[in-house]
A and B are shown apart, each in its own frame.
Chain A
């Protein structure tokens, strides 16, 4: 276990380092892009631009700029170019919104996928459910989430007025309003993944039913329910967990930016989307590191869950 943690820790640091270099390099190699000009505004005089450039350190060599920026990020002092806000502070402030959005949606889509995948593989309800899952899976990978969000917003917030159109209420302030405001965004994020996940689970389940150990379990006289839950389902969940870990991590890191933008939720993703639009390097850099951190964390966690579910797998890192 210790060996696993140490090895994963080292590779995590290497990955974060590489990610920061890549993101920094992307914005460094853009021709004609002068961040000082962007900060000072289009109509700024050359002296103002030069002043801004000196203040933010854009006149220094690239590696010094990189080291300075990284130092500011890890001491929590880095500010964005657009509004001069503390980037780390913004992430801390907004992370609660993203968690409120992503965690319930993820739980919902995982449970729904397990239920639908099992029902469809066991052919409860005949071919109809099975075909429905197939169709939902293909539809789920064909609809962009921003379009689904827009349709939901139009139908349920404007046309039928069942839900508030946009905005966010903190959980601690009013839990009912919190959920009320988030139902549509939760649905938008979850529903597209349900089809795909249940389809993957279904094909895993079908591969698993013909395995020897399942036949052994049946031959021993285990009740069908126990065979399914303890042997078939448990082993079929393994690939799903890796997929889920990665999807969940990127969503937490800001990949929900499209949903947050459409529903006007002040989360991490909305901040990143705004920063991207303004070519505001510090929030993009922090966002990329933030996402990469969750990716590393959840890939390690999903490996641990793997080892728990399947004792044949050892954690070697």
Chain B
């Protein structure tokens, strides 16, 4: 790790000179030439390795993901109840006292801090700790699917409108502008409520795919716009002109000439969009327009818990803390990745 900081480490060529594999770049430097150039990815990786804060939060994110993925293990081996199993009439042993999971007037039991009903129950007698983990899985899954949609279609829209301009612009840009000019929460909520009611085609109203799709669509312009600007800049560069002169088909130019140059922009957007998607999912679920019963997500758990904020605040605050920690860790990692990839980071005054 320490020798990474030395300037002569790093494969690849010195400026304009292709170094044969195996030949030490350091030898050339010692011969009085320029220090060897290192690729932007290597440089970024090197900067990231030194960025302890980013690494720590990346670790936190991984832990949260693993904990959520282990939800079935917790449900089967510790809590012994599935996330959507009702248990309204059941009783549990809290500190030697038999307590009903849901009291006769409908108030669920609070945190027991034991293996059963660790964080308490909801009105249907469902184990909140199990639902917290399954809900986290749902939130992360929706975030990931939405991010995939944003990345694929945002890049596609950006490439098409940036490369072809004219006709593609005429069709796609007004649509993008329209989505862009709606406040995301209002558009997302309207779509969410509408689709949760009827579903689309073969997809049922309570499918997790619906919120993913809505979030994806709402955020496509956020990626499409900057990608388009980048493509506009790239398409007038010499290497694209050269490819055109060689008679390369437009789709091939887009895929093999322009797309590789977009990867660092796209990389910066992946964590950002993941954080945005998970947050928007929680807003939609909070307003009843996201994840539908009987499934849970962190948003629905916070919303359900609000009824008891006065007596048992942990119902809302624990899923809230999980949500904030997850989004925060993604945002910190995203910031670190951006700083590492940003070519300006080298010359910028350290502030």
Enumerate chain A interface residues (CB-CB to B < 8 A): 15, 18-19, 22-23, 26-27, 30-33, 121, 130, 138-139, 141-144, 146-147, 150-151, 153-154, 158, 206, 250, 253-255, 257-258, 261-262, 272-273, 276-277, 279, 284, 287-288, 291-292, 295
Contact = CB atoms under 8 A, between A and B. Distances in A.
B182 A288 contact: yes
Contact of A154 (B193, B288, B313): B313
Nearest to A123: B351
A147 B323 contact: yes
Contacts of A261: 287
A106 to B, nearest CB: 15
Interface string B276-316: 00010011001111000000000100110010011001001
Interface stretch (B84-92, B228-236, B249-257, B324-332): B324-332
17 contacts: A18-B174, A19-B181, A19-B182, A26-B190, A26-B191, A138-B331, A141-B331, A143-B324, A144-B282, A146-B302, A146-B303, A147-B320, A147-B324, A250-B183, A276-B289, A279-B197, A284-B190
Contacts of A139: 328
A25 to B, nearest CB: 10
Range, interface on chain B: 35 or more
B240 interface: no
Contact of A30 (B197, B282, B332): B197
B269 to A, nearest CB: 14
A307 B180 CA distance: 24
B186 A144 contact: no
Nearest to B303: A146
Contacts of A273: 189, 287
Interface in B169-226: 174, 178, 181-183, 185-186, 189-191, 193-195, 197-200
B182 to A, nearest CB: 7
A115 B288 CA distance: 38
B306 to A, nearest CB: 6
A146 B214 CA distance: 20
Contact of A272 (B186, B299, B324, B327): B186
Contacts of B335: 138
Contact of A144 (B190, B279, B306): B279
B306 A262 contact: yes
A96 to B, nearest CB: 21
B79 interface: no
Contacts of A142: 275, 279, 324, 327-328, 331
